[in-house]
Structure 1
């Protein structure tokens, strides 16, 4: 690790270091607030008497917001500049979040989801493009692993905020919104170190879905599983007999595993076939999801499983982004990253709705069964495409 650090330091200019740190710090603050707000929103709807199915549908609407917002980030970055576009996204998201507490009408939450999740989607697209564009090629996987690790630290800490501030009243909404606004500070620090987009991409955004299908499909599957986990694991916890505050810690366990395993997975992606690594992560995810059923009777057992499972499955995101960063640059990288986030967003739409329906139909077992289904389908599709198109694709 010391040798790697020395080699990495010699590969980065001061501008690159400042820019990467600024982008990582900003999106980490967003991740902390987002991981607190998503289970908070689900529990708030539960307290207001909304059914599991409708909670899942409303949560899935965040995917609609992300799909709509996906082309906006690269467009704003090209017209205004990357840091300017990121600042706008952060301020819109931070100021809109407390209105979920203010607006008690359930139907008003749908347009509010469009605003809030659209802004956070743009923030993620711009931050990941920022990091990927500045990372040197031979250490891109490691740096994306660092990014994912620090982001996971934010996601793991978010539910702890709920354990401290509670899950009722205005305080948790205000704290989560303030966290997103604070994320603007590191953007200002790294303002002059952001990459520029000076021309349009040579391919349409949707073309990247076909150019790099294994990576973009990984984004879809991870979006479905992660969004369902962050939003609906607390409901899964309630169904297996946990209290509301304890149930939110299941999200922390999943995110903590993400934090620990992304650097090793990123380093592996710099040294082996990324397609194969994506398949291995998906296959492990199937087995781990099915093990949630027999381990649901033990709080410590399910937390330990979610720790390992969450870290390995999150490798779909880290390795997928690294794969795209190695293949594209400039405007094409921004569009490829947007295509990845588009698929991730579609997963956000499909996953929570499917999982919410499964929880209503099959009880607690519905959540792990849906997870295993998504991951299993991904592995099968990748194996079929690999047989037909060859590992080079």
Structure 2
């Protein structure tokens, strides 16, 4: 086990989470201050999802030509450039283009980085090692809104902080080796419909968590403001959700190495449904804080367990291809979640965010209890 490389790759991917945790709420709050409505903010939040879909189709071809490590470094630097331009050119239409480009660049890093982490993990520790990565990523997102609160939203300091983090993520990969071997077709994204047919619960879990993450960083602060909370409390709500995600991923990973992963997977779906339904009812009571913790932990558990189930069966090209499908599904979730929630919030219900998550969790539970979650995984690409 190459521990130095494992932690370096984790750090590179985690730098993205911290950078996005600082910049994504800042973008939404800036648009809110400019007078844009929920749907316009939802469109901005969903724009990187299109970039995710493009990045998933390009990652394999680019990695085969450039090399996995070098491509990850280059994409982190391109991401830093995009964030810098967000600070320099503050215009809605330009921001849409920049966030699209940011989605492409950072998706390549996610696909290759998560494949690299899963390949490095030894089987008996896979649950804990993947969960440790998930915990680090969640903590980076927790630290992002907290850091933004400390920096303040009146200036562009949050954007420049994101630039520095992405440059740092590129530097930690210098000299690292042992990345998955990739050919030009590994991450082309072919086979996604077959993957979803074979593994509908895992596919939907990825979509659901992607929607969750996009909405937590972009729409949850707006949800809090419009329910009567101050900006500081609204950002704290985001942080508490991410605390739940971060604090409980290692226990979930530990359990995944010791009990049925299918049972644990289903349990996360049940907790997510229950906590989503409880948020509108308990929002203005002290009980909302533990509910938000459970909300974040259960959503994060779905994604962690999805990666564990995939990583235990795939290596090299097949692992990169499976993670390309995960990225495509992630893009779909990031696209659907904010757009649908922004529209429902504006035209149907102010509690659209938790109610849409409850609907998604109910769909996952139906899929998860219909059959096996992992027995056909090895054939999902065939």
TM-score, scaled to structure 1: 0.90
Residues 55 and 356, structure 1, Cα contact 8 Å, conserved in 2: yes
Q: Against the structure 1 CA distance between its residues 239 and 390, is the aligned structure 2 distance closer, same or farther, given a 3 Å change threshold?
A: closer
Q: Against the structure 1 CA distance between its residues 327 and 193, is the aligned structure 2 distance closer, same or farther, given a 3 Å change threshold?
A: closer
Q: Tell me which residue corresponds to 1:196.
A: 181
Does residue 158 of the first structure (1) align with residue 141 of the second (2)? Answer: no
Q: Tell me which residue corresponds to 2:379.
A: none
Alpha-carbon distance, 1:29 to partner: 1.6
1:107-163 alpha-carbon deviations (Å, 9 max, x no partner) = 222211111121121111111011001111221111000000111111110001111
Q: Tell me which residue corresponds to 1:52.
A: 38
Residues 180 and 320, structure 2, Cα contact 8 Å, conserved in 1: no
Q: Against the structure 1 CA distance between its residues 106 and 194, is the aligned structure 2 distance closer, same or farther, given a 3 Å change threshold?
A: same
1:207-250 alpha-carbon deviations (Å, 9 max, x no partner) = 43334333222111111122112211101110121222321121
More helix by share: 1
| Gap runs ≥5 in structure 2 | 377-382
Q: 2:260 aligns with which of 269, 273, 277?
A: 273
Whole-angstrom distance in 1 between the partners of 2:170 and 2:296: 28
- SS in structure 2 at match of 1:183: helix
Does residue 184 of the first structure (1) align with residue 167 of the second (2)? Answer: no
Residues 272 and 294, structure 2, Cα contact 8 Å, conserved in 1: no
Q: Tell me which residue corresponds to 2:251.
A: 264
1:8-45 alpha-carbon deviations (Å, 9 max, x no partner) = xxxx2xxx212111111111221111111111111111
1:27-74 alpha-carbon deviations (Å, 9 max, x no partner) = 122111111111111111111111111111221111111111112223
Does residue 83 of the first structure (1) align with residue 69 of the second (2)? Answer: yes
Q: Against the structure 1 CA distance between its residues 102 and 198, is the aligned structure 2 distance closer, same or farther, given a 3 Å change threshold?
A: closer
Q: Against the structure 1 CA distance between its residues 200 and 55, is the aligned structure 2 distance closer, same or farther, given a 3 Å change threshold?
A: closer
| Gap runs ≥5 in structure 1 | 1-11
Whole-angstrom distance in 2 between the partners of 1:381 and 1:135: 28
How many residues were matched structurally? 374
Whole-angstrom distance in 1 between the partners of 2:252 and 2:184: 33
1:269-304 alpha-carbon deviations (Å, 9 max, x no partner) = 223332332221111101000110122113x53332
4+ runs deviating over 4 angstroms: 198-203
Q: 1:372 aligns with which of 358, 372, 381?
A: 358
Does residue 392 of the first structure (1) align with residue 378 of the second (2)? Answer: no
Whole-angstrom distance in 2 between the partners of 1:154 and 1:390: 29
TM-score, scaled to structure 2: 0.92
Q: 1:353 aligns with which of 335, 339, 345?
A: 339
Q: 2:117 aligns with which of 131, 140, 144?
A: 131
Whole-angstrom distance in 1 between the partners of 2:198 and 2:352: 34
